[in-house]
Amino acid sequence: MEPYKIKVVEPIAFTTPQERAEALSAAGYNLFNLPATLITIDLLTDSGTSAMSDRQWSGMMLGDESYAGSRNYFNLERTVRRITGYRHVIPTHQGRVAENLLFTTVLKPGDRVPNNIHFDTTRANVEHNLGVAVDCVVDEAYDVVADHPFKGNMDVAKLDRLIAEVGRERIPLVMLTITNNSGGGQPVSLGNARATSGWCHRHGIPLFFDACRFAENAYFCKQRDPECAQLSIEQIANAFFALGDGCTMSAKKDGLVNIGGFIATNDDALATRLSNMLILIEGFTTYGGLAGRDLEAIARGLEEVLDERYLAHRVGQVRRFGERLVAAGVPILLPVGGHAVYLDALRFLPRIPQPQFPAQALACALYLEGGIRGVEIGGLMFGKPNEATGAWTWPELEMVRLAVPRRVYTDAHLDYVADVCSRLLARRDTIHGLKIVSRAEVLPHFTARLAPVDEAG
Ligand code: P61
């Protein structure tokens, strides 16, 4: 059961099928363009959507809004140092700014950045700085039904091949995303982090964690890896971070807040360069684009997220949601990840070819059927037209992610979502593909407009 009780409630919206059809058409078949007031269950993201605790809210009243040296910064610094062991803690207003700072500082054009799988903002920040983002996850990650406890693991042999091909000078750092969001919220084992760290340090290459969901990753390790069974979540987190040189963090996930992030490192020279850049784009080093009260909420959220009872409920709720879908015959990525269930659109809608964006079509159908908003992680997000030929390359996975916000929905809400998915499966042959009407070059899925193929011709 939930290890908390509910003190504040927010009504959710109920709409008619006709209202939803009109809203979706006006939104160009892009769920990012829908007003949230027209959504019944919002599973677009687990990012910035957490319910904060009474302890966090009361901490916000203790916000010290001094331009420099806010006491809340020092609380955050102390907590991040305790969890990560990294000396320098540089606050940012969200994760992608931490990525921006890191990559504008360390990348040269043509550099390669390996990661297990880059999340879209990480990839976009690498590419924006003229680097090449290389995914080096184990092959099992691409097999949607392979039963592997740590599908987020890095394939160190792929790192060997990359370095043989491009040389050490072309790899300024390696990233490891815990848990691996684009690969289904799958964990990385401590042993794999150790192997990746060993590889990096043998070659004199720094290792950075993308730590957004570090506590959920640690919980999986405790459950699945005998090496971690007797350790606390904090000890597991300590063990991971000790293997790296720094981390980027979107506190909007395992920080249990609505806004915030940071970059932390033990590299003094790098920290100086990052801080100078921070002052240019975010603000002074003790607030980084956040209010003092936000810093306090993050400090407290990072403590709360280490609570094993909380994590058992959190990861258990997502798993139960996945199990209900499996029982209804809905094809999902297995095993169920930490923060979301991923519908496998290629198996859900086998008649829609990838150039007609089956995952986006499925996401739209879920909205039409039940007012549910998920997010496409497939061809719209990661597909790319070749500049010369116009031919597209498609990602291996074509999924709709149903991300579960932290401490927000009950199992009854998720039962409703499972029922809608099951109804949709029963009438899947009535769902049509989509085509693009307009699309931006960078992070196109946020703003693209689409139309049903049969209407657009
Ligand atoms: C999410 F539809 N994730 O999963 P920021 N690294 C990792 C993330 O998961 C992540 C960031 C860095 C989001 C929000 C989101 O197209 C989308 O604080 C592993 O969002 O800047 C964010 O952290 C960036 C949803 C982002 C999207 C981009 O839902």
| Coil/strand/helix, residue 435 | strand
CA 444 to ligand 1 center in whole angstroms? 14
Question: What digits encode the pLDDT tens for the residues 400-418?
Answer: 999 999 999 999 999 999 9
Among 44-53, 249-258, 390-399, 439-448, the least confident range: 439-448
This prediction's pTM? 0.95
pLDDT at 455: 52
Residue 350, SS3 per DSSP: coil
Quick one: which atom of ligand 1 is closest to the CA of 340? 4
Give the mean pLDDT of 384-389.
86
**From the CA of 148, how far away is ligand 1's center (Å)?**
24
- pLDDT of 88 strictly over 90: yes
Whether 96 lines ligand 1, by a CB cut-off of 6 Å, is yes
What confidence score (pLDDT) does residue 183 get? 87
122 lines ligand 1 (CB under 6 A): yes
Residue 387: pLDDT band with limits 50, 70, 90: confident
pLDDT digits (tens, 9 = 90+) for 20-37: 999 999 999 999 999 999
User: In this model, does residue 457 exceed pLDDT 60?
Assistant: no
The residue contributing the CA closest to ligand 1 atom 23 is 95
Q: How far is the CA of 61 from the centre of ligand 1 (A)?
A: 28
Q: Which atom of ligand 1 is nearest to the CA of 46?
A: 29
Please state, rounded to an integer, the average pLDDT across all residues of the chain.
Answer: 96
Q: Closest Cα to atom 26, ligand 1: which residue?
A: 121
Q: Which two tokens stand for residue 10?
A: 């927010």
Task: Encode pLDDT of 202-248 as tens digits.
Answer: 999 999 999 999 999 999 999 999 999 999 999 999 999 999 999 99
Main-chain phi, psi angles of 251, to 5 degrees: -70, -5
DSSP 183-240: TTSB---HHHHHHHHHHHHHTT--EEEE-TTHHHHHHHHHHH-GGGTTS-HHHHHHHH
* pLDDT tens figures, 46-84: 999 999 999 999 999 999 999 999 999 999 999 999 999
CA distance 49 to 403: 10
Q: What percent of the chain clears pLDDT 90, i.e. is strictly above it?
A: 92
Determine the Cα–Cα distance for residues 348 and 333; give it in Å rounded to an integer.
11
Query: Ligand 1 center to residue 63 CA distance, Å?
Result: 26
Atom index in ligand 1 nearest the CA of residue 375 equals 2
- The count of other CB atoms within 10 Å of the CB of residue 77 is 20
State the Rg of the chain over Cα. Answer: 21
DSSP, residue by residue, 395-410? -S--EEEEE--TTT--
What per-residue confidence (pLDDT) applies to 456? 46
Q: Cα(186) to centroid of ligand 1, in Å?
A: 15
> Rounded to the nearest whole angstrom, what is the distance from the C-alpha of residue 212 to the centroid of ligand 1?
9
Residue 308 predicted with pLDDT over 90: yes
pLDDT digits (tens, 9 = 90+) for 159-172: 999 999 999 999 99
CA distance 231 to 25: 51
Ligand 1 mutation pick, 94, 119, 258, 263, max ligand atoms within 8 A of CB: 119
Helix (H) or strand (E) holding 149: none
180 lines ligand 1 (CB under 6 A): no
